[in-house]
Amino acid sequence: MIIKIFEIARILAVSAAFYFGYSVGYENGYHPEAQLHLMIPIIIVAIAGISGLEGLVFGDAAAEAKGFEKGSNYQKQSAIALLSYAMVALFVFFYNWGIKSELTILFTFMFFFTFSAMNHGYDAVKRKNYKWANINRPFLTLLLIAGLILPVIGALKNI
């Protein structure tokens, strides 16, 4: 049950990031940097931070929900890596290091998340692991990428 709550919390937080991010971005004309400044830490903390805590504190339940093996040291290492993305995103945000730093942590996180989605998709096909927590990752990743394309391109044009 707790794993489903985490999954819902991630989706709701990312949805809120998009809603408020796009609201801020289009407040006075279009300002992709303001949009991303709000969206990036929320998205990364929601996905990586919650997933990291989930993996460390509820690792066996999380692995079972995704159809993966339980109790591996790799699982703990991945959870720690996810928490590191969240912490860096918060440092970049609170110390106001600017759009280049924000994009750097976003790209780093998105490369990890994209390859993770590919791994989940491969697992679904190869091992026929059709658990919802496993098969949703590729689709949610594509939605995330689609929603970030416009502000990221806009911010890169302004650098």
Mean pLDDT across the stretch 114-136? 91
Residue bearing tokens 């805590």: 53
Higher pLDDT, 134 or 106: 106
* pLDDT recorded at residue 157: 97
Residue 67 has pLDDT above 90, yes or no: no
Residue 156 has pLDDT above 90, yes or no: yes
* pLDDT recorded at residue 155: 98
Mean pLDDT across the stretch 70-74? 84
* pLDDT recorded at residue 57: 95
Kindly report the average pLDDT of the chain as a whole number: 95
What is the percent of the chain where pLDDT is above 70?
A: 100
* pLDDT recorded at residue 83: 98
Q: How confident is the model at residue 23 (pLDDT cuts 50, 70, 90)?
A: very high
How wide is the angle at C-alpha 54 spanned by C-alphas 50 and 56, nearest 5°? Answer: 120
Distance CA 98, CA 34 (A): 10
Mean pLDDT across the stretch 70-97? 94
63 three-state secondary structure:
helix
The residues spanned by each domain of the chain are 2-157
Cβ-proximal residues to 118 (8 Å cutoff; 6+ apart), any chain: 138
Residue 133 has pLDDT above 80, yes or no: no
Q: What is the DSSP string of 98-151?
A: -HHHHHHHHHHHHHHHHHHHHHHHHHHHHS----HHHHHHHHHHHHHHHHHHHH
Contact assessment for residue 92 and residue 105, using Cβ atoms and an 8 Å cutoff: yes
Mean pLDDT across the stretch 115-141? 91
